[in-house]
Chains A and B, each alone.
Chain A
Amino acid sequence: MDRLTNVVAGLRSLFCSRRIESELDEELESFIEASTAEKISRGVQAGEAARAARVEMASSNAVKHRIRAAGWEAGFESFWKDVRYGVRRLWRSPGFTIFAVLAVTIGIGANTAIFSIVEAVLLRSLPFPEPQRLVHLTADMAGTGIRDIGFSLPELEQIRAQAGAFEDVSPAWPMDGNLTGTDKPSRVEAIAVGTSYFRMLGTRPVLGRLFLAEDGIPWMSENTVISYGAWRRLFASDPKILGRKIHLDYDPYIVVGVLPPEFHHPGFTLQGEPDFFLTGSFRGGAFPQHPTQTGWRMFPGAICRLKAGVNIEQAQSRLEAFAAETGRQYAKDYPVSSGWKPRIEPLQQHLAGDSPTILLVMEGAVMLVLLLCCTTIANLLLARSTVRRREFALRTALGASSANLIRQLLLESSLIAITGTAGGILLALFLTPLIVDSAPFSLPHVNRFGINGAVLLFTLAASIGTALVCGLVPSFRVVRCNTVEALKEGGSAIKGDSSGARLRNMLVAGQFAVSLVLLIGAALMCRTLLLVLHVDAGFNPHHVLTGSIWLPPPGDPTARRYADPEARSIFVRKLLDEMKRIPGVEAAAVATGDAIPLVGWNSSPFAVEGRPDGRGDGFSAQMTSVSPEYFQLLGAHLLAGRTFTAADDHGLRVALINETMANTLWRAQNAIGKRIRTGPAESPQWWVIVGIVNDIKADGLDKPTLPHLYFPIYQRSDYALSVFLRTATRPEAQAAALERAVRTVDPDLSVFAMRSMDDVISSVTGTKRFMLLLLGGFAGVAMGMALMGVTAVTLFAVTQRTQEIGIRIALGASRRNVLALILRQGNRLTLWGAAAGIVGAFLLTRFLSSFLYRTSPIEPVAFVFATVFLVGGSLLACYFPARRAVRMDPMAALRKE
């Protein structure tokens, strides 16, 4: 019989166990029969012979067991028996099992989700050939402290040719544009790159070709490569897309290639993924002419491939040498004081941006959560194992080794861990995209987020760790447990275990401390969010739809429809007419692109007539142009003077100011009639202040209001416009009508970024809500664990002190006394934990201050509220096991002695 037959025999006995069993019986029977027959032949009396034969066999079950133990399948069988026993035991206490599995599900789910993000952002290398040689290049003015000043094309070309650090350099210039030549015009994102960009990244097209050196023609090439997403979204995956002509801001382009779906631009973009990739020499037209050294620094940065064998430090020092040489050569353009210095960093690091710190903090936090879950389950198992002490003692007495018992405990914790891990992976599938989408910090999407081999490996390790922590901690107790003492039913077997008890108590108190810190953090965020949402924004956000319009200025000046301010004014008037005609619209307004409240805009300088020109600490204000309907539509109110009218166009230039500006510069009312100047002193534009409006929050609800200047849109307009509709019903429902209105005026235009003002408000409070969700979620889990922990410890104490309590009750202690006795122990833990938690929160909440609004990091309200909440929860958690102690029959308890 070779190995194979051994395996076959094992399987046969596993799966045909009944037949094997009957064969065994038959063999044993025939043995006894033969033995009896032989004894009779020796002259023993028949009855006596049969009896003697059976005595020789002793227990036929034991013999059969030993025979079966000969095969390898025996170990498997006993393992399977243990599994079934474990499942049965867990099944019999569904409360514990559900809690433990849920705890593991949450712990593993959160860890898997966060780790899958950490893996994609920090651990996995970028999906390009030799990613370690890819770097991001930018430049700083160390002398003036300005960072990321960008590059001009001549600078980039000289760096490529002379610095001796790079094999290849490709500029990357994100832009957006108005796409026409498709079914309907839309706003798209584009990016201008060098002709070598795709070669450097090792990308292959799914259709057509990518850029070639021949595309480097003066100005920009007509050839464009589109992303896979754009191909599907804008062109319905048209297989005959190649050669298709489209227009971006009225400039013609021809599609020559389609990128693969997994390609993502590894760098800065405007909002999402670039749809169109453009290339060219970037010389001529609006671009600076060679050889002006600095020219116009329009490229925000470049992606470069290091020369083979050059590491990042060598490349950086070569760049610095190059910068010094350039400074000598062009002393006028590069004064020593400016400290111009190109700087490189690994592309992956550049893409990760600020996220590593936050991600690692989050990873640490979820690991802490998992640890809390594990210790709680261990604590519960420990409490259960005390109850099971006699069972274990009995099994030991019956010949089970302590290895067997540990195996049993580990098996149960493994069953919990396996089920919880399966649930956790499912949870992570749902959590990962949720975190990626709602994270208030930007995450690079170059690597796909998801659960892959590396993540599963991590999850597996976490799961094994969980099973070990949960199973081994109670095992130590079982092994130390004295069989004889335990069997004697005395509580004395667990005396002398005070170090274990102290450890357990410290664990629970620690859990309380951690959950209180998190709860206080969540309470602070909650208060902040409530305060922020009650900030007077100065306008009524409900039933308002906003959107943006871009009046494209094409590269060809003759094709520019809206270059003339008068053309823009005509467009605005026509658009307003169309918008007001939409059924269900109560009011309509058009303004410059920066007029959407709360999204924030830079301030610009201005001068006030009769006051020293404010150079240095001069005057500055946010400047917006609006149509006359703007203030009424937003529900802002005029404090003094008059608002704009449709007649504020070719005549006197007028302006409105906000309350803050009026108060800072003129003491309110006096401001009316004052004149201010914008633009340079050589070609001034004077404006007369005709009115004051209330403060409208421009920079977010929690930011201070800055001085704000409003101009009539017919006197000062822009290519970027914003539109507003006040609607009778749900604002989003008017999106299609708004789009139609815009296209009625100019069929080539599109309105994009349409959303309700309520949406704007929720997006500007996004970071705070994310922090609240994060802290609240962690606090919830931690508190749940701590409460289960205190329940377990109390239950443990009650079981341990059964006789003592019985005696107390028998001697006349009232139920109230007993209840107090039990509660006292649990509460001591809570109070120690709460004290530690308050100290911890006192030290740690300051790190939240940047997220808080009108709330001190040591806000007493939050501290008190969180502490009361936690202590109250803990009282409840102690109460149930304590009640059990109180209800116990004293006689039964005493009889156990």
Chain B
Amino acid sequence: MGQRDVVQGTLEMMILKTLALESLHGYGVAMRIEQVSQGVFRVNPGSLLPALARMERAGQIKSEWRPSENNRRAKYYMLTARGRKALSTEAESWSRRISAIARIMEA
């Protein structure tokens, strides 16, 4: 499996999961997703940043300007309570769907 775009509708879930561990700036989120997926998913900024803006408006994450590693200002995103709740429902429905797909594929 080569480098592929993120499965439709799962980007926001992955962002939530990534931010659940620690707050990150935009590129940090992209890097983390790429690393954890071992390079399978590469999230380009054109999808990532609008997704972050959408989620911020939905109240799932909030942002804060903080100094970054290279001593510049960067916008860091972190999960809100609503985001945590959204993550758990998303994760649950995801595992239900994935096991259903698995059953179909194994049948």
Q: Chain A: residues with CB nearer than 8 A to chain B?
A: 1-2, 5-6, 9, 23, 26-28, 30-31, 33-35, 37-38, 56-58, 62-63, 66-72
Contact partners of B68 in chain A: CB under 8 A? 30, 34
Of chain B, the residue at the smallest CB distance from A59 is: B46
- B25, B30, B56, B57 pick with most chain A CB within 10 angstroms: B57
Closest chain-A Cβ to B24's Cβ sits at a distance in Å of 10
Residues of A within 8 A of B44 (CB): 56-58
List residues of B (1-53) whose CB comes within 8 Å of A's CBs: 25-28, 30-31, 44-46, 49-50, 53
Interface centre among B31, B44, B46 (most CB of A within 10 A): B46
Report how far A38 CA is from B53 CA in the complex, Å. 24
Which residues of A are found within 8 Å of B54, using beta-carbon distances? 70
Q: Establish whether residues A33 and B49, one from each chain, have CB atoms under 8 Å apart when the complex forms.
A: no
Contact B57 A31 (CB under 8 A): no
Determine whether the beta carbon of B31 is less than 8 Å from that of A31.
no
Q: Bound complex: CA of A37 vs CA of B69, how far in Å?
A: 11
A66 touches B80 (CB 8 A): no
A3 to chain B, nearest CB (A): 8
Q: Are A71 and B59 in contact (CB under 8 A)?
A: no
- Within the complex, the shortest CB–CB distance from A545 to chain B, in Å, comes to 80
B73 touches which of A26, A31, A70 (Cβ 8 Å): A26
Complex interface: chain B residues within 8 A of A58 (CB):
44, 46
Cross-chain contact of A31 among B27, B50, B59, B82 (Cβ < 8 A)? B27
Q: Would you list 28 pairs from A and B whose C-beta atoms are within 8 A, ordered by A residue?
A: A1-B57, A1-B59, A1-B62, A1-B82, A5-B59, A6-B57, A26-B75, A27-B26, A27-B74, A28-B45, A30-B25, A31-B26, A33-B70, A33-B72, A34-B27, A34-B28, A37-B70, A38-B27, A38-B31, A56-B45, A58-B46, A62-B46, A66-B46, A66-B50, A70-B50, A70-B54, A70-B56, A70-B57
Q: Using Cβ atoms and an 8 Å threshold, which residues of chain A touch B25?
A: 30-31, 34
Q: Is the CB of A30 within 8 A of B72?
A: yes
Contacts of B56 in A (CB 8 A): 1, 70
Residues in A with CB closer than 8 Å to B73 are 26, 30
Contact of B50 among A9, A33, A69 (CB under 8 A): A69
Q: Write out the residue numbers on chain B whose beta carbons fall within 8 Å of the beta carbon of A56.
A: 44-45
Q: What is the interface of chain A mostly: helix, strand, loop, or mixed?
A: helix
Chain B residues, CB < 8 A from A35? 27, 30, 45
Q: Which residue of B lies closest to A26 (CB)?
A: B73
Partner of B53, one of A1, A30, A67, A72: A67
Chain A residue with the shortest CB-CB distance to B47: A66
CB closest residue in chain B, given A1: B59
Collect the chain A residues with CB atoms within 8 Å of residue B62's CB.
1
| Min CB–CB distance B98 → chain A (angstroms) | 28
- Shortest B58–chain A CB gap in Å is 8
| Distance, CA A549 to CA B41, complexed state (A) | 105
B77 CB → nearest A CB, Å: 10
Taking a contact as CB atoms under 8 Å apart, the answer to whether B57 and A71 are in contact is yes
Size class of the B contact interface (CB-based, 8 Å): 20 to 34
Residues 54-107 of B at the A interface (beta carbon under 8 Å): 54, 56-59, 62, 68, 70, 72-75, 80, 82
Task: Give complex CA distance A37, B31 in Å.
Answer: 12
B44 nearest CB across to chain A (Å): 6
A34, B74: Cα distance in complex, Å: 10
Q: Once bound together, how far apart are the Cα atoms of A70 and B58, in whole Å? A: 9
What are the residues of chain B within 8 A of A6 when measuring CB–CB?
A: 57, 59
Most chain B beta-carbon neighbours within 10 Å: one of A23, A28, A34, A56 = A34
Inter-subunit contact B80/A31 (CB<8 Å): no
- The complex places the Cα of A393 from the Cα of B81 at a distance, in Å, of 48
Q: Tell me if A67 and B27 are in contact (CB < 8 A).
A: no
Closest chain B CB from A25 CB (angstroms): 12
Which of A1, A9, A26, A31 interacts with B49 by CB under 8 Å? A31
A-B complex: 9 closest residue pairs judged by Cβ atoms: A1-B59, A34-B27, A70-B53, A66-B50, A70-B54, A67-B53, A30-B74, A31-B27, A67-B50
Q: Which of B30, B45, B46, B75 neighbours the largest number of chain A CB atoms within 10 Å of its CB?
A: B45
Nearest Cβ on chain B to A74's Cβ, whole angstroms: 10
Not counting A30-B27, A34-B68, A57-B46, a sample of 10 additional A-B residue pairs whose C-beta atoms are within 8 angstroms of each other reads: A2-B59, A6-B57, A27-B49, A27-B75, A31-B45, A35-B27, A37-B70, A57-B45, A70-B50, A70-B56
* A28/B49 in contact, CB under 8 A: yes
Least distance between A78 CB and chain B CB atoms (Å): 16
Assembly CA distance A68 to B59 (angstroms) = 16
Q: Are A63 and B45 in contact (CB under 8 A)?
A: yes
State A643–B27 Cα separation when bound (angstroms).
117
B30: chain A residues within 8 A (beta carbon): 35
CB of B28 within 8 A of CB of A63, answer: no
A26 to B72, CA, bound (A): 10
Bound CA–CA A2/B80 (angstroms) = 11
A70 to B51 alpha-carbon distance, docked (Å): 8
A66 to B57, CA, bound (A): 13
Q: How far is the CB of A276 from chain B (nearest CB, A)?
A: 72
Instruction: Give the Cβ gap from A447 to chain B, nearest Cβ, in Å.
Output: 52
C-alpha spacing A738/B46, complex, angstroms: 93
The chain B residue with its CB closest to the CB of A55 is B44
In whole Å, how far is A470's beta carbon from the nearest beta carbon of chain B? 37
Question: In angstroms, how far is the closest chain B Cβ from the Cβ of A28?
Answer: 7
Once bound together, how far apart are the Cα atoms of A6 and B80, in whole Å?
A: 14
- Select which of B28, B49, B59, B82 is within 8 A of A67 by beta carbon: B49
Provide the residues of chain B in CB contact with A5, threshold 8 Å. Answer: 59
Min Cβ gap B76→A in Å is 10
How far apart are the CA atoms of A5 and B45 in the complex, in Å? Answer: 26
A57 and chain B: residue at smallest CB distance = B45
Report how far A71 CA is from B50 CA in the complex, Å: 10
In the assembled complex, the CB of B43 is this many whole angstroms from the nearest CB of chain A, namely: 10
What residue of chain A has the Cβ atom nearest to residue B59's Cβ? A1
Min CB–CB distance A772 → chain B (angstroms): 65
- Closest Cβ of chain A: how far from B64's Cβ, in Å? 12
Contacts of A26 in B (CB 8 A): 73, 75
Whether A63 lies near B46 (C-beta < 8 A) is yes
Contact B70 A71 (CB under 8 A): no
Closest chain-B Cβ to A704's Cβ sits at a distance in Å of 85
Rounded to whole Å, the gap between the CB of B87 and the closest CB of chain A is 16
CA distance A57 to B48 in the complex (A): 10
Separation of A631 and B67 alpha carbons in the complex (Å): 109
Per the bound structure, the CA–CA distance linking A68 and B52 in Å amounts to: 11
Query: How far in angstroms is the closest Cβ of chain B from A58?
Result: 6
**A contact residues around B46 at 8 Å (CB):** 57-58, 62-63, 66
